[in-house]
Amino acid sequence: MTNLLWLRQDLRLHDQPALVAAAQAGAVIPVYILDDDAPGDWRIGGAQRWWLHHSLKALGDALAEKGSRLILRRGDAVAILTELMERTGAGAIHAIRHYEPWWRKAEAALGERLCLHDGNHLAPPERVTTGSGGQFRIYSAFWKGLQEHLPPERPVDAPRTIPAPDRWPESEMLADWHLLPTTPDWSGGFDWTPGEDEARHKVAALALDGYDERRNLPSEHGTSRLSPHLHFGEVSPRAVWHATDAHDVTFRKELAWRDFTDGVVLALPDYADRNGRPAFDRLPWRTGRDATADLKAWQQGRTGYPIVDAGMRQLWQSGWMHNRVRMIAASFVIKHLLIDWREGERWYWDCLVDADYGNNAVNWQWVAGTGIDANMFGRIMAPLSQSEKFDAAGYIRRWVPELAELPDAAIHDPDAAGCRPAAYPAKLIGHREARERALAAGRKVR
């Protein structure tokens, strides 16, 4: 019997339960469908498209080595899979379960033709539930509940060979999808190697000594940089888990956070568009010409706050931003500029190679204070002191060259030190003024 293997954010052969099941049942036709309509406003952004091009190329090469091939189609996923079943006589579609609302809708539409498998989580979100059977809405409680399902199963090896069908359906050409940017080619500085081989290499090379401290220092290479590989499913979470030790608790909690955020969007599918706390619908966000100009300055890394600007420029030039700086930059646009968190969320979505629907939404609402498990709105990160506390001088010098010659004592706040270069912008707003404005807006919510 021939089976379709529907690939989405699971672009790997190792620890691929849908592939294993399909291969055991007969010949396999691996299919990737670029469906830009199903996600609506959440179609993948520019940085993700760059990654997807290279990841699909790597996966196609890996499949060819095993006597298989990758079929590429563009359009409505449900319609294309239905048509492929009819043309090939496939008896079933095998896929790994996904939790984005548009994929859950597509899975439901395919009905009994679809055989779903778990493989992108430490434990399926449906199993990690509260005493009443609902999804956890507080991470600490989720982490405690997850312990009942740990350790995850051991990863399974990729099949040595993949049975091929007698006839292959036609495939589109990857180059014809034009996933790579053209003008402006802002991806020229992307220092990444997408694909399963690179993901597994990074996992094998994980060095987590001192991770608790080093992960917060932007000037050091203290993070795993696995996030885009995990997002695209080039490596499974359980493979990463089993590559770590029991004392790597902080790292494992961050890995589990991805499971938690999928549980949130399982319970609240529109969490990326709506405040988790409805009271914040009353918050008076700034709009109009001045707010638009401030948002653009933030996007371009020209706010006058060096650590914020370094982060935003790193984002634009590399498709990634250090996690500590992501929080600082997000807090700045929300609290200092009083701009709706959804504006920042959308910018990250387009610019991050690791942009993930659940993770992105939950993180933004956590920083904004609008979410179900979030900081208070009145908690306003101080970017200048954060920069000094986490020793960001080297990070700033790399990404904000106008400040490269300043000494450490001045680089975090050139205005206060009286040595701001003419080429570097003044602050959009003072920290104290911004804090008072944000607190006043927050009081209107209460």
> Which amino acids are annotated catalytic?
254, 257, 285, 323, 341, 364
282 contacts 164 by C-beta, under 8 angstroms:
no
The rounded distance, in Å, linking the Cα atoms of 225 and 194 is 12
The continuous run of DSSP H or E covering 357 comes out as helix 357-368
> What SS3 class is residue 203?
helix
DSSP string, 399-443: H-GGGTTS-HHHHT-HHHHT---TTSPPPSS-HHHHHHHHHHHHH
Query: Cα-flanking dihedrals φ and ψ of residue 150, to 5°?
Result: -110, 155
Provide the CB-side half-sphere exposure for 335 (13 A, CA). Answer: 30
The rounded distance, in Å, linking the Cα atoms of 192 and 54 is 10
Q: Burial of 175 by CB count in 10 Å (0-12 exposed, 13-18 middle, 19+ buried)?
A: exposed
Edge-first strand order for the sheet with 92-96 is 71-74, 27-34, 2-7, 92-96, 114-117
The continuous run of DSSP H or E covering 73 comes out as strand 71-74
The rounded distance, in Å, linking the Cα atoms of 310 and 392 is 9
The tokens for 175 are 């180059």
3-class SS shares of the chain: helix, strand, coil, % to 5: 50, 5, 45
Closest CA to 283 of 156, 435, 437: 437
In this structure, the number of other CB atoms found within 10 A of the CB of residue 98 comes to: 20
434 contacts 369 by C-beta, under 8 angstroms:
no
The Cα-based distances of 352 to 203, 277, 416 in angstroms read: 21, 26, 32
State the angle between helix axes of 46-65 and 196-204 in degrees (0 to 180), rounded to the nearest 10: 90
Omega into 184 within 30° of 0, i.e. cis? Answer: yes
> Amino acid identity, residue 93?
I
The tokens for 423 are 């080429």
